[in-house]
Structure 1
Amino acid sequence: MNIGIIGAGLSGIVAARDLVRHGHTVELIEKSRSVGGRLATRRIGDGKADHGAVYFTVRGEALKQDVADWIERELVRVWYADPYPRYVAIDGMNTLAKHLAEGLTVHLSERAEVVMLENETVVVKTDVTTRHYDRLLITSPLPQTFDLLTDFAVDPALRELTYAPTFVGLFEFGSEITIGHEGILDTDLAPGVLKVINNHQKGISATELVSVYMDESWSEEWYERADEDTLREIERLLQSVTGSAVIRSRQLKRWRYAQATDVWAEPYYPLRDAPIFLAGDVFLEPDDASGRTRFESAYVSGLRVAEAMR
């Protein structure tokens, strides 16, 4: 089959790898300049900072087997274990996504705009061209997905799932900064601050780059404000951790759909009247004990939807 996948985040990449391995022709359409989605790493000067997923954990056997292979290939390592291992990509989370996408056909900087059905063929019109597929998988955040599916019936309960935004401030320091024992603080922080990460201590940056993640309620409250005002306030809150240490540069990242406030208790969703499937980290297996979106839920969703599409 000729299969299209909208979104080259973890779910899309995992699904594509499985489908290609079983002999199907697969194309990924990605609006960004790089694969990975929230497996995101930014270069700042001579350093690197993760500003999406910080680390990932492993509960199920499927991901455990792949992680063992990634460790063998020196793609990931254990950052710290308290009480269970937190895994990080050796050279930044986006580097892992790029390794996993090697050999796949990916159309970067191409935005899907319309999805329609012509006879038994799924037609995807993008800002570049028109593509035709036997089956289509969409892994983008649901609000963006539904913008593409205006002519298709979808369970109303799925449309009611909502997302919370997250701000991430990225700060480059001119001198050594120690954040906790392992390069992370996620307790006893100023109100609004979810966690603070030192990417140098984490092992991915040659320079002192600190990522400050704001919690959902703070990010929602500040989302419509000017970037400069938002960044200034994050810096003020960060100083409760770093004191008067000199900051060389600062940047802000907005994640509009960072975390689903609700989840779907199936690992994927097939449209009833079209060969179109939805997947992503919001789609959890029914027995998922964590009940929240994360790296592993995206990975498992990609595996399960590929099985269904095959």
Structure 2
Amino acid sequence: MKIGIIGGGMSGLIAARDLQSAGHTVEIIEKSRSVGGRLATRRMNDGQADHGAVYFTVRSDELKQEVKEWQAAGVVKEWFADPYPRYVGSNGMNKIGKYLAEGLDVRLNEKIETIAAKEGGIMLTGSEQLHYDAVIITAPIPQAAALLEGSPLNLTQEDQKLKEYIFEPAFVGLIELNENIQVGEYGLLDQDLPEGILKIVNNGEKGISNNPILSIYMTGEWSEKWFDREEAAMEEVVRLSVEQLGDLSIASKQLKRWRYAQAKQVFNAPYYQLEQHPVWLCGDAFLDPDDPSGHTRVESAYISGKKVAEQIIRFAQS
């Protein structure tokens, strides 16, 4: 089969790799200029900073084995263990996405506007029309639901329930310093912080930047409140950071907004298929019912991508 995957984050990349290995033709359509999704790293002068996933942990046997291969390839490393390992990209989290995309057909800077049923398959329309036997949508559920609602598809009542899922936004302030400062024991603070701050990371101490660059992650509630006031929000991020860390010698600063960062409620299955079309949804908010964590994370995206690929392989064989 020829399969189109909307979104080049962890779920999409893992599904693409498994489907391609099973002999299918796969294309990833990514609206950004790079793959990785929330495996995101940004350059700042001579340094860089992660501003999506800070690290990832491993519970499943499948990911444990894969991480060993990533470590052997120099793609990931253990940051610290307390009590279990936190893994990071050896040179930034987005390097994981780029590594996983090797050998895959990826269309960058391509936004899909509509999805339609076409001659037993699916047609995606963006800058051009793309035809597939099946499609996977890995965008956050609210974005996926909006795309489906605006498309000429027959959606059932069950399909339409997807629009009920709500995600919190997230602001991440990136603050480049002239002088290094100690942030926690390992470069991470995630407890006893001023109201509004979720965690603080020093990317220099994390081992991915030559320059000390702080990633200040704000809570969903705070980010919702400040979402449409970017300039004022950046100043407030600085103020709260100084309140926690003391005076900062700031060289530069940037603000990153994630509109759909964390699901307020998860989907209790690793994927969802539209009832009348060969279209599947997956992603970090699609959790296996026996998932021990109960929240979205890098590993849940990985598992969701694996599971949806398994299902489509069975679908192709039926």
Same fold, judged at TM 0.5 (above): yes
Q: Which amino acid aligns with 1:161?
A: Y
Which one of the candidate residues 280, 291, 294 is aligned to 1:277? 280
CA distance in 1, matches of 2:188, 2:54: 10
Counterparts of 1:48-63 in structure 2 under 5 Å? 48-63=48-63
**What does residue 303 of structure 1 align with?**
306
Q: Does residue 186 of structure 2 align to residue 175 of structure 1?
A: no
Deviation at 1:142, TM superposition (A): 1.4
Q: Which amino acid aligns with 1:146?
A: A
Counterparts of 1:1-310 in structure 2 under 5 Å? 1-126=1-126, 128-150=127-149, 151-153=153-155, 155=158, 156-225=160-229, 227-310=230-313
Moved over 4 A (4+): none
Paired residues, what number? 308
Q: Tell which deviates more after alignment, 18-27 or 145-154.
A: 145-154
Tell me, yes or no, if the aligned pair for 2:30 and 2:108 is still in contact at 8 Å.
yes
CA distance in 2, matches of 1:27, 1:102: 13
Superposed CA deviations along residues 120-159 of structure 1, whole A, max 9, x for unmatched, are: 0200001x21100000000001121122212342524432
Tell me, yes or no, if the aligned pair for 2:11 and 2:282 is still in contact at 8 Å.
yes
Tell me, yes or no, if the aligned pair for 1:158 and 1:264 is still in contact at 8 Å.
no
Q: Which amino acid aligns with 2:199?
A: K
Tell me, yes or no, if the aligned pair for 1:31 and 1:111 is still in contact at 8 Å.
yes
Deviation at 1:245, TM superposition (A): 2.4
Instruction: Report the 3-state secondary structure (helix = DSSP H, G, I; strand = E; otherwise coil) of the residue aligned with 1:112.
Output: coil
Deviation at 1:119, TM superposition (A): 2.6
Instruction: Report the 3-state secondary structure (helix = DSSP H, G, I; strand = E; otherwise coil) of the residue aligned with 2:307.
Output: helix
Q: Which residues of structure 1 form unaligned runs of 5+?
A: none
Tell me, yes or no, if the aligned pair for 2:41 and 2:49 is still in contact at 8 Å.
yes
Deviation at 1:38, TM superposition (A): 0.5
Superposed CA deviations along residues 272-304 of structure 1, whole A, max 9, x for unmatched, are: 111110100110001001110000000000000
Q: CA RMSD in A?
A: 0.9
CA distance in 2, matches of 1:38, 1:275: 26
Q: Which amino acid aligns with 1:306?
A: A
CA distance in 1, matches of 2:197, 2:248: 18
Superposed CA deviations along residues 231-267 of structure 1, whole A, max 9, x for unmatched, are: 0000000002331121010100000000000001110
Tell me, yes or no, if the aligned pair for 1:171 and 1:249 is still in contact at 8 Å.
yes
Q: Which amino acid aligns with 2:186?
A: E
- 1:152–1:49 Cα change, 3 Å: farther
Superposed CA deviations along residues 34-61 of structure 1, whole A, max 9, x for unmatched, are: 0000000000000010000000000111
Tell me, yes or no, if the aligned pair for 1:9 and 1:37 is still in contact at 8 Å.
yes
Q: Tell which deviates more after alignment, 274-283 or 235-244.
A: 235-244
Deviation at 1:212, TM superposition (A): 0.1
Deviation at 1:73, TM superposition (A): 1.3
Q: Which amino acid aligns with 1:238?
A: S
Instruction: Report the 3-state secondary structure (helix = DSSP H, G, I; strand = E; otherwise coil) of the residue aligned with 1:241.
Output: helix
Q: Which amino acid aligns with 1:236?
A: R
